[in-house]
């Protein structure tokens, strides 16, 4: 009998590889053999597929069956190959014509009764298939809303295996995606709810304008969490390319919903301090899955009670903050996930954390030990550090009502537009993305402007990395002031944000 062929997609991180599924009947005693580095879940596919074919009104071949998944040296994980395997077997047995299979990718897990179940990673899988020249795809009906996000691909949804068989025979039409409906983004929390804390509000605005990392320190109840939760409302909406990046990560995690399949709002992820390192960074057996930092890609990662996370989990973020991605190596291969997020940390100044600092019972050694959980190398990568005071110490807003989010957001967007226009020739969008060499060469500031920064570096008050970050903050302050380039006052203010001892 001729070989039956179908095509599916293997995901290695966010990268997809086209997989050719071959079915060969005959040549020995009845039995099934699968080759091509299948994992345990995929090896069970032969039992799922056998029952699904029989319960779909088709005859299971009694000859020896060899299933090959190629490329043979690429690990195959999960159950998304079930539908392609079933169709390849039926094509090999001559039960369905193979004319429509050419140039068609099939994704879906099969239930024993022939239903096509949903699988994760449909969006990145179809993006990879389109890149390989595939023109058509069949996916589970429940993921049709996700598959429709891929332009230039003819997408069909199948609820049962028998529907796919009938479509291959030209007897029926599979479901097509409905036109996407534009939905209003959810309304975020309003910055006007935060009373007082003018310095922290200003730091939040600067962080939003330049995509800078932020540390908020203060006793309980002063508004650290309230401020952090209002940062996404100040950020611009994601561009179409960024939306696809973020949505692809959430697709692998199975977090997409039909109501809002394309993520347009910067995500906000706030893990509990008991989270494991693998859940935070990414990991798992076989091919590593994305962690919470990847779910926060192009958004905000908020670590409340940051000192309680432990130094190992916090220090694992150091390389990620520099690179904007995380590389995870496992026995079956190494994967790379995007993780370019804004880090916001909030912490108490000491373990007892009384509402008033005068009531603190901690010794100086205990306070140092507590705050030392935030290591020096990690803090060196945090651009803005703000100390919040209790309302009884600061007083209420000096005059008028607090500014709402919309007013502050207009200033943030204007500053971001100025930064994007300045860096457009180099491909950078925010001040936080500009590398240090460019700040010192092409966009070097006059010595009179950076004199205070140079003296602070000589005294050891800031590191070389801290100098670069101060310059990025200074450019953001200049953008907020609608200035062509930072002045000495901007550099001094940036240095004050970095380390109050430096000035």
Each residue's pLDDT tens digit, 248-297? 999 998 888 888 789 999 999 999 999 999 999 998 776 788 999 999 99
Query: Per 3-state DSSP, what percentage of the chain is helix, strand, and coil (rounded to 5)?
Result: 40, 20, 45
pLDDT at residue 420, as a whole number: 96
The torsion angles phi and psi of 500, rounded to 5 degrees, stand at: -70, -20
The model's pLDDT over 173-230, given as tens digits with 9 standing for 90+, comes to 899 988 766 677 777 789 999 888 899 999 999 999 999 999 999 988 888 999 999 9
Residues 6+ apart with CB under 8 A from 311: 373, 375
pLDDT at 395: 47
Three-state DSSP at 351 gives: coil
CB 206 within 8 A of CB 384: yes
Query: pLDDT by residue (tens digit) across 41-51?
Result: 888 998 999 99
- In this structure, what token pair is assigned to residue 79? 């159950």
3-state secondary structure of 133: coil
Count the alpha carbons within 13 Å of 30 in the hemisphere toward its beta carbon. 4
List the chain residues with pLDDT less than 70.
Answer: 1, 180-182, 286, 392-400, 499-503
Please state the pTM of the whole predicted model: 0.90
Cα 128 to Cα 99: distance, rounded to the nearest angstrom: 23
Spatial distance between the Cα atoms of 269 and 432, rounded to a whole number of angstroms: 20
Q: Following DSSP, what letter does each residue of 381-443 receive, concatenated?
A: T--EEEE---HHHH-S-SSSPPPPHHHHHHHHHHHHHHHHHHHGGGT--SGGG--HHHHHTTT
Task: Find all residues with CB under 8 Å of 321, minimum gap 6, and list them.
Answer: 213, 343, 381
Contact present, 469 and 383 (Cβ < 8 Å): yes
């Amino acid at each position: 009998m001729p070989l039956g062929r179908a095509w599916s997609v293997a995901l290695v991180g966010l990268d997809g590889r086209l997989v050719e599924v071959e079915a060969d009947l005959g040549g020995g005693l009845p039995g099934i053999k699968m080759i091509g580095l299948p994992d345990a879940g995929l090896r069970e596919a032969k039992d799922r597929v056998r029952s699904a074919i029989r319960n779909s009104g088709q005859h299971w071949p009694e000859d020896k069956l060899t299933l090959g998944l190629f490329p043979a040296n690429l690990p195959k994980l999960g159950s998304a190959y079930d539908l392609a395997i079933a169709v390849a077997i039926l094509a090999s047995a001559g039960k369905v014509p193979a004319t429509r299979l050419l140039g068609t990718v099939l994704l879906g897990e099969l239930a024993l009764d022939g239903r096509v179940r949903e699988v994760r990673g449909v969006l990145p899988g179809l993006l990879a298939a389109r890149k390989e020249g595939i023109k058509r795809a069949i996916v589970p009906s429940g993921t049709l809303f996700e598959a429709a996000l891929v332009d230039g691909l003819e997408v069909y949804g199948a609820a049962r295996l028998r529907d796919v068989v009938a479509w291959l025979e030209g007897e029926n039409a599979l479901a097509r995606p409905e036109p996407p409906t534009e939905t209003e983004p959810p309304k975020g929390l309003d910055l006007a709810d935060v009373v007082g804390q003018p310095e922290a509000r200003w730091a939040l605005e600067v962080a939003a304008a330049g995509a800078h990392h932020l540390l908020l320190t203060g006793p309980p109840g002063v508004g650290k969490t309230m401020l952090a939760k209002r940062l996404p409302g100040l950020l611009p909406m994601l561009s179409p390319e960024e939306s696809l990046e973020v949505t692809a990560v959430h697709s692998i995690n199975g977090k997409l919903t039909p109501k809002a399949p394309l993520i347009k709002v910067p995500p906000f992820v706030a893990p509990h301090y008991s989270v494991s390192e693998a859940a935070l960074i990414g990991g798992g057996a076989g091919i590593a899955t994305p962690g919470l930092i990847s779910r926060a890609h192009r958004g905000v990662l908020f670590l409340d009670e940051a000192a309680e996370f432990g130094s190992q989990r916090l220090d694992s973020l150091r390389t990620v903050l520099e690179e904007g991605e995380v590389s995870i190596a496992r026995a079956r291969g190494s994967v790379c996930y995007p993780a370019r997020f804004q880090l916001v940390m909030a912490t108490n100044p000491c373990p007892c954390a009384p509402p008033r600092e005068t009531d603190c019972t901690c010794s100086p050694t205990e306070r140092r030990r507590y705050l030392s959980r935030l290591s020096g190398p990690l803090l060196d990568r945090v651009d803005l550090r703000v100390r919040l005071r209790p309302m009884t110490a600061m007083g209420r807003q000096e005059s008028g009502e607090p500014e709402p989010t919309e007013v502050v957001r207009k200033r943030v967007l204007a500053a971001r537009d100025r930064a994007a226009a300045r860096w457009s020739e180099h491909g950078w969008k925010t001040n936080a993305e500009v590398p240090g060499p460019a700040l010192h060469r092409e966009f070097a500031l006059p010595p009179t402007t950076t004199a205070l920064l140079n003296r602070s570096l000589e005294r050891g008050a800031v590191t070389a990395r801290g100098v670069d970050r101060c310059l990025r903050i200074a450019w953001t302050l200049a953008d907020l002031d609608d200035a062509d380039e930072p002045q000495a006052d901007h550099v001094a203010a940036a240095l004050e944000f970095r380390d109050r001892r430096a000035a």
